[in-house]
Structure 1
């Protein structure tokens, strides 16, 4: 069953180009089982990173590589507060799609 991961991030002022460049260096083929990847700007320096996966298993297998990718641009992100750190991740199986 298709799975999604969605991660909320806020980029530090003046770091948006570096944040986007870190993602542009990646390719979907770098992550086995990834069907699509998008970055959505939702506000002033606010972003959602959205990945679509073949399954929760594929997402789980890719998680260490996703964390390593995050580590490559972590310094560009602001702490979100509320003990969240620099990301607010969510993932799960798709239960409805049109």
Structure 2
């Protein structure tokens, strides 16, 4: 739902399949517990953050990387949450490669 709401609704079937099967980034899939996955659901960083405080900077960077990689938009609440996290995480760098 997050990808759809962030611009993925306009993707053709080829692009949707490329996103769903993205093996080009090590950030694509991160193993988590079922409880954590249910807790997060389709929420963005304005609505949900990992319970482990020491992982939040990395999570925000990886979230941002994925949004940039796939040219997805962020709504205002999400943008504000990410900017707040960026201020709290001055040594965290966002690295991404545009998806083909």
Normalization by structure 2: what TM-score? 0.38
Which protein is richer in helix relative to its size?
2
Q: Name the structure, 1 or 2, with higher relative contact order (CA <8 Å, separation 6+).
A: 1
Which protein is richer in strand relative to its size?
1
Normalization by structure 1: what TM-score? 0.38
